[in-house]
Amino acid sequence: MHGLIFFYIQKFADSAAAGATSWSKLRSTVTTNHGKYLPSGVYPDADAVHLLDSIAQSAHESLPTIVERFGEFLAPHLIKVAGRHIEPDWTALDLIEHTEAIIHAMVRATNPGARPPVLDTVRQTPHELTLLYSSERKLCGLARGIIRGIARYYGEELSLEETSCMHQGAPFCTLVVTRGERDTHERSSPLNETMEYQGSLSSSAAMRSDPMSTWEGSVLPERIGVYAIVGDIGRGGMGRVYLGRDAQLQRDVAIKVMHSHRAGNQSARQRFLKESQATASVDHPHIVTIHQVGEHDGLPYIVMQRLQGVTLQEYREGVGRMPLPESLRIAREIATGLAAAHARNLIHRDIKPGNIFLEGSERRVKIIDFGLALDAADSNTKITTDGSIVGTPAYMSPERVNEQTIDAQSDIFSLGVILYEMLSGQLPFEGDSLVKTLMAIARGGARSVHTISPDVPEAVSGLVMRLIAHDKADRPASAAAVADMIATLEKSLSDPRNS
């Protein structure tokens, strides 16, 4: 275990002793094989457990209670230590969502062989996320305590619901974290308040004088490379997207800049650059165009075409279940875009409605965000990166859930889920928790689209069910073949003789 944890265990013991006389003799009772623990060192897990158990015995508390209490104590200290990896405008949920990336960046910087816990998250809404905790140490109580400590530090009300636990035989712990209804965005981040008190970010002029602060805060940078920044488009897990202006060609562009806390993680940085290289290598009308790749103030960025329109997710939320002709046309265009990527040995791995952009009034498909793209030639690539699940669970293929080798068939499965959802208004594999969703995908056996929506022709329903077949050998051979099958169906359905 990393020495930083031992450093704060000792501070925790001191702080507890100051407030509870029953712990006054704690330091003499806590003895291990090491005389002292350095924050930069690495020590046996058993030592940490022994220290916390000694604290528990002195306090007449159970070990799980002390572990969780230590997590609450630890949270604000870790936030301060990790300050440069945390964006000032984050809420508590934002920080929890990115905790694993921060831990990996900090720990692996000094100890490349470390095995920090997996803390994977899915953000359902701005007010709720699901967190998976997995570690052979089984210190899920520490994770719960850290979450509560983060909430207290940010002055927010977070509720926790544990829906599975390793201590009860589950393969991982699942925590549903929900924020209270009050608007936390109306107040400043505690990080902002601290920095303003210290005078380091007291004005926008001060932020302009520090390029890195500009990238991390709410004030826009003046320029990124040769592009003038004129607006803020949004942000995702990997980076922030700005609206830029190309003065030479007189056109607007979208500039995706990697988050600084991500850029410090070498594997995440390489994955971000891989997105740009992968996407730029494919020239296709249904894949977003990359104009340039660069680096500014130590952060990688990608310059892309500026798209006007909505994502398929936004469109579906507005219209609900979609008409058959439009659903087939969108699916065909996704398939032709994927075929072009697969021809370059590139697999997207996160095909979902949020990564399908519908451009203009014609709602022409553009596949975006190749942030999880991989080279299909790398046959050893699995579902995990440092042991964590990547992608969006509802659209994952069974082979990704079961940690099998990923190939183009995984993208085809995800396309099938999208088409199923457009035609029926439902997902083929659902659960009331992240774990149950993953289990449903792993089991397979979805109801046919025609059963849910009888107006969907059986031929169309049959193709959809082939796309989401549990065994990838039962799916169509390629995305190009899928595009041809859909085109054949469209032609058949448009023939008056088949009406």
Could you please report the per-residue DSSP string of 82-132? TGGGS-TT--HHHHHHTHHHHHHHHHHHH-TT--PPEEEEEEEETTEEEEE
Q: Are the beta carbons of 413 and 468 closer than 8 angstroms?
A: yes
Phi-psi sector, 319: left (phi>0), alpha (psi -120 to 50), beta: alpha
Q: Which is it for strands 364-367 and 299-305: parallel, antiparallel or unpaired?
A: unpaired
Residue 452: how many other CB atoms lie within 10 Å: 17
Dihedral of CA atoms 480, 485, 487, 492 in degrees, nearest 10, equals 170
Q: Is 350 a catalytic residue?
A: yes
Ranges of H-type helices in 300-407: 312-319, 324-343, 398-401
Distance CA 261, CA 97 (A): 12
Paired tokens of 350 = 């996160």
Q: Which residue has the tokens 């996407």?
A: 279
Picking from 280, 277, 286, 232, the residue whose alpha carbon sits closest to that of residue 255 is 232
Question: How many Å apart are CA 301 and CA 331, to the nearest integer?
Answer: 30
Residue 488 CB partners (closer than 8 Å, separation 6+) = none
Q: Which residue has the tokens 């008409």?
A: 323
With b for 16 or more beta-carbon neighbours within 10 A and e for fewer, the 131-162 pattern comes to: bbbbbeeebbbbbbbbbbbbbebbebebeeeb
Catalytic residue among 94, 120, 350, 369: 350
Phi, psi of 364 (to 5 degrees): -75, 135
Give Cα 225 distance to the centre of its chain: 27
How crowded is residue 88: how many other Cβ atoms within 10 Å of its Cβ? 20
Is residue 254 within 8 A of residue 276, CB to CB? The reply is no
- Which residues are known to be catalytic? 350
